[in-house]
Amino acid sequence: MPQTPELAESAPPAQHHRLESPVHHASTHDDWWRRSVIYQVYPRSFRDTTGNGVGDLPGITLELPKIASLGVDALWLSPFFASPQRDAGYDVSDYCAVDPLFGTLGDFDDLVAEANRLGVKILVDIVPNHCSNEHLLFARALAQGPGSAAREMFIFRDGRGERGDLPPNNWQSHFGGSAWTRVTEADGSPGQYYLHLFDSSQPDFNWDNPAVGDEFEHILRFWLDRGAGGFRVDVAHALVKDAALPDWGGTPDGSPSPGFPFSDAPMFGRPGVHDVFRRWRGICEEYDGERVLCAEANVHPIEAMADWVRSDEMHQSFNFPFLHTGWDAQALKGIITRSLNAFDAVGAPSTWVLSNHDVARHATRFGTVAPATRPGDGLGPEDPQPDLELGLARARAATLFMLGLPGGAYLYQGEELGLGDHTELPHPLRQDPTYARTNGERLGRDGCRVPLPWTPGNPTLGFSDAGEAWIPQPATWQHLTREAQELDPDSTLWMYRNALGLRRARNLGLGDLSWLVDTGTPEVLGFANGGLLVIMNLGNAQFTLPEGTVLQASSATAVDATGRLLNPDSTVWLLPA
Ligand code: NOJ
């Protein structure tokens, strides 16, 4: 990869490296989820075998050997359940059925069989905070009216004001607008309001009602019995609300700042939520094979998030503060140290993640001057466009740095190809409800959900044999296909595969972490995990690598001709000579 080596004048003389005292010790437990690399599949954009323009379960089974050969431990599949697809499947109308868009239950069984053959686990994305308004339970709640047991499955309240025509409180939907929608009762009169923290098509369940817990126990067992390796748990911070449903004085979506739900908000992190996950942990432990629970517990600060992974609750929680930290060496050092301390305090592995289906991909964020990190704030054709070369260089460096860290790592499909977002999608093609609910003020998440490029040439770059895709791919992806990268040892794909192989061989996931003492520049960050030294250069000048080391992996043409100068925007893995 081309680099800019002309800035070498400030490189200090080479030195032997010294380490600070460890901030994290090697794990004494060997559970797979303490060191795992989990690959997120977004089914609608993975691989379409039916020609309907939407990826499907047989497409995942077909391509699974390619993903398994990357060296990942498990796949997490975003929802493929029956759904009207108002929020891309996070609006579930039947939790125990596969949406015909994606295939059948038999296709799921085939996928699990192939995954077992290849030694990877399949994690299912469970959505317990809300369902679809087309779910039978919600249809019953509407039909049976105020005060009925069916309504108690959800959060219905009378409106405020003399005529009851004001929402019960001031909470706002994450996708924009009020979090309450008024229903028309069976007799045609204006009725109660129901709560939906997301789209109006996603009514929130009432987790104070034990019948909801029983319903979900049945759903968990259904997928565990079919061989699921566990669950990614959607909105795991929000299931239980303050029973008084008080107005919230923070920002309307319960955040101290956009996109960062605060554990003190009345809709997040209520103590009762932890009882739910204790019950779920018990259910998982009845099954063999270390079935796991991974929390989308989007709460700040990281010390609060650690409550979700106490020893009798979930196994892992996504580290969003790490994802949101950006290109800043000292901020990264700070959040990594805090994460390890916070998760160590409860005996859980820390996790690391740079991209997912809700935020701009890291290759886009790192190529953008003022990157948006709030879910739903994608880039559009009118915005300044990212610097693709810079974004890719930094994305590769950040990934190689992340994969050296102890704990669990998450990858989002396509990042192993160096994909960024589609940042020039025509607005009429946008499907994320965020776009419509904010009247286009926030562009939504479609840009990071674009179908994968497999082979050059075909109109959808091999995503669909029929040449159809539910949303178009950017023209720049023509040279980023998996097939082309397979042929190029300098490709991002090869970098990921090599790094994952070394990570596994050296057991880095269960390793320790000591920061490198004083690299001489605050923009260079280094740590040791076991015998491996990981150094990332986030500054503008070349950095002289420590003496007595040999290169194991590199994110780019990371070192100059002498082999001792680390270029800007690069990461290397070194071992003692
Ligand atoms: C978090 C999911 O990741 C996101 O895609 C979804 O829109 C919301 N939860 C609502 O389920």
pLDDT tens, 173-191? 888 888 999 999 999 999 9
pTM: 0.95
Active site residue 165: no
Pick the residue whose CA is nearest to atom 5 on ligand 1: 358
Question: For residue 301, is the peptide bond before it cis, meaning its omega torsion is within 30 degrees of 0?
Answer: yes
pLDDT for position 520 = 83
* 2 located within any domain: no
234 lines ligand 1 (CB under 6 A): yes
Q: Closest Cα partner for 157 from 246, 233, 88?
A: 246
Q: What is the mean pLDDT of residues 155-176?
A: 92
Please report, in angstroms and rounded to a whole number, the separation of the first and last CA atoms in the chain: 25
One-letter-per-residue 3-state SS of 281-339: HHHHHCCCCCCEEEECCCCECHHHHHHHHCCCCCCEECCHHHHCCCCCHHHHHHHHHHH
Average pLDDT, integer, range 470-477: 96
Collect all residues with Cβ–Cβ distance below 8 Å to 493 and sequence separation of at least 6.
Answer: 416, 417, 482, 485, 486
Distance separating alpha carbons of residues 220 and 218, to the nearest angstrom = 6
Tell me how far apart the alpha carbons of residues 287 and 392 are, in angstroms, rounded to a whole number: 42
Q: Is the CB of 204 under 6 A from ligand 1?
A: no
Euclidean distance between CA atoms 242 and 256, whole angstroms: 18
Q: How confident is the model at residue 7 (pLDDT cuts 50, 70, 90)?
A: very low
Max distance between CA atoms of the chain, in angstroms, equals 82
Contacts of 193 (CB under 8 A, 6+ apart): 156, 157, 158, 159, 167, 168, 180, 181, 182, 183
**Same-domain check for residues 246 and 316:** yes
Q: Predicted confidence band at 250 (pLDDT cuts at 50, 70, 90)?
A: low
249 in a structural domain: yes
**DSSP conformation class of 119:** T
Is 413 within the bounds of a domain?
yes
Q: Which helix (H) or strand (E) holds 527?
A: strand 524-529
Average pLDDT, the chain: 93
Which pLDDT value is given to residue 141?
98
Please check whether residue 216 is in contact with residue 208, taking contact to mean a CB–CB distance below 8 angstroms: no
DSSP state of 516: B
Q: Which two tokens stand for residue 551?
A: 């290169």
Name which of 210, 161, 171, 216 is nearest 194 in CA terms: 171
pLDDT of residue 518: 77
Inter-residue contact 320 to 149 (CB < 8 Å): no
Q: Please report the atom of ligand 1 found closest to the CA of residue 87.
A: 7
Ligand 1 centroid – CA 90 distance (Å): 6
- Residue 42 Cβ < 6 Å to ligand 1: no
Pick the last residue of a domain from 446, 463, 496.
Answer: 496
pLDDT value of residue 223: 98
Place 375 in a pLDDT band, splitting at 50, 70 and 90: low
Structure tokens at 433: 């409800």
**Ligand 1 center from residue 229 Cα (angstroms):** 21
Measured CA angle at 535 (ends 499, 371), to 5 deg: 85
Cβ–ligand 1 contact at 358 (below 6 Å) = yes
Residue 257 bridge partners (DSSP): 260
Sheet strands (E) in 225-286: 230-233
**Ligand 1 atom 11 nearest Cα:** 90
Q: Which of 467, 496, 525 is the last residue of a domain?
A: 496
DSSP 8-state symbol, 111: H
Give the single-character DSSP code of 493.
Answer: H
Nearest ligand 1 atom to the CA of 356 is 3
Taking 70 as the threshold, does the pLDDT of residue 252 lie above it? no
Q: Two tokens at 4?
A: 């800019």
Q: Which of 234, 296, 313, 569 is catalytic?
A: 234
Residue 372 belongs to domain with CATH number: 3.20.20.80
Predicted pLDDT of residue 528: 97
Residue 44 inside a domain? The answer is yes
Q: Regarding predicted confidence, which is higher, 364 or 465? A: 364
Taking Cα atoms as reference points, which of 515, 514, 498 lies closest to residue 506?
498
Name which residue sits closest to atom 3 of ligand 1, judged by CA.
Answer: 358
429 with 569, same domain?
no
> Are both 383 and 262 inside the same structural domain?
yes
- Based on the fold, state whether residues 162 and 261 are members of the same structural domain: no
- Asked, for residue 466, whether it belongs to a domain, the answer is yes
Residue 489's pLDDT is what?
95
Q: Counting Cβ atoms within 10 Å, is residue 344 exposed (0-12), middle (13-18) or buried (19+)?
A: middle
Average pLDDT value for residue range 530-543: 95
Q: Is 72's pLDDT higher than 80?
A: yes
The pLDDT, as a whole number, for residue 16 is: 65
State the CB neighbour count (10 A cutoff) for residue 457. 9
Ligand 1 atom having least distance to the Cα of 445 = 5
Contact 139, 153 (CB under 8 A): no
- Ligand 1: atom nearest CA of 198 is 10
Answer whether 101 contacts ligand 1 (Cβ < 6 A). no
pLDDT band at 453 (very low <50, low <70, confident <90, very high): very high
Determine the distance separating the centroid of ligand 1 and the alpha carbon of 240, expressed in angstroms: 17
Instruction: Give yes or no: residues 12 and 147 share one domain.
Output: no
Q: Are 39 and 118 in contact (CB under 8 A)?
A: no
pLDDT for 247 equals 86
Residue 133: strand, helix, or coil: coil
Say yes or no: CB of residue 198 within 6 Å of ligand 1: yes
Please report the pLDDT score of residue 171 as a whole number: 87
User: For the domain that residue 549 is a member of, what is the CATH number?
Assistant: 2.60.40
- 377 vs 28, more confident: 28
- Mark whether 36 and 180 lie in a shared domain: no
Tell me the per-residue pLDDT of 80-99, one tens digit each, with 9 for 90 and over: 999 999 999 999 999 999 99
Residue 54 inside a domain? The answer is yes
Q: Are 35 and 408 in contact (CB under 8 A)?
A: yes
Tell me, yes or no, whether 258 and 158 share the same domain.
no
Angstrom distance (rounded) from CA 38 to CA 16: 35
Does ligand 1 have an atom closer than 6 angstroms to the CB of 81? no
CA of 357 to the centre of ligand 1 (A): 9
Q: Which residues pair with 193 in a beta bridge?
A: 157, 182
* The pLDDT value given to residue 377: 81
Q: Is 131 in the pocket of ligand 1 (CB under 6 A)?
A: no
Cβ of residue 107 lying under 6 Å from some atom of ligand 1: no
Name which of 29-33, 45-49, 261-265, 521-525 the model is least confident about: 261-265
231 found inside a domain: yes
Could you tell me the pLDDT band of residue 366, with boundaries at 50, 70 and 90?
A: very high
Indicate which residue's Cα is closest to atom 10 of ligand 1. 90
Which backbone phi and psi does 45 adopt, to 5 degrees?
-120, 15
pLDDT digits (tens, 9 = 90+) for 311-353: 999 999 999 999 999 999 999 999 999 999 999 999 999 999 9
What whole-number distance in Å separates Cα of residue 412 and Cα of residue 361? Answer: 9
pLDDT higher at 357 or 252: 357
Residues 263 and 351 in one domain: yes
Among residues 9, 162, 187, 286, the one annotated as catalytic is 286
Q: Ligand 1, atom 8: nearest CA belongs to which residue? A: 90
Task: Please state, in angstroms and rounded to a whole number, the distance separating the CA atoms of residues 561 and 477.
Answer: 31
Ligand 1: residue of 78, 87, 237, 296 to mutate (most ligand atoms within 8 A of CB) is 87
pLDDT at position 6: 42
State whether 262 and 347 are in the same domain.
yes
Is 436 in the same domain as 339? yes
**Side chain identity at 308, as an amino acid letter?**
W
Same domain, 117 and 172: no
Ligand 1 within 6 A of 180 CB? no
Strand 37-41 with 74-77, pairing = parallel
- Of ligand 1's listed atoms, the one at least distance from the Cα of 175 is 7
| Cα 38 versus chain centre, distance | 10
Mean pLDDT value across residues 482-505 = 97
Q: Are residues 186 and 258 part of one domain?
A: no
547 noted as active-site residue: no
CATH of the domain at 149: 3.90.400.10
Q: Quote the number of domains for the chain.
A: 3
- Summarised one tens digit per residue, pLDDT across range 99-123 is 999 999 999 999 999 999 999 999 9
Domain that holds residue 548: 8-22+513-576
For residue 423, give the 3-state DSSP assignment.
coil
Over residues 165-180, the mean pLDDT reads 89
Given 195, 221, 238, the domain boundary residue is 195
Q: Decide: 87 in ligand 1 pocket, CB within 6 A.
A: yes
What separation in Å is there between the alpha carbon of 430 and the centre of ligand 1?
16
In a domain, 505, yes or no: no
> Can you say how many angstroms the Cα of residue 413 is from the centroid of all Cα atoms in its chain?
10
Amino acid letter at 573? Answer: W
Distance 487 CA to ligand 1 centre (A): 36
- Ligand 1 neighbour 127 (Cβ under 6 A): yes
Confidence of residue 77 (pLDDT cuts 50, 70, 90): very high
pLDDT one-digit tens code per residue, 426-442? 999 999 998 998 899 88
pLDDT reading at 5 higher than 60: no
Whether the predicted pLDDT of 1 surpasses 50: no
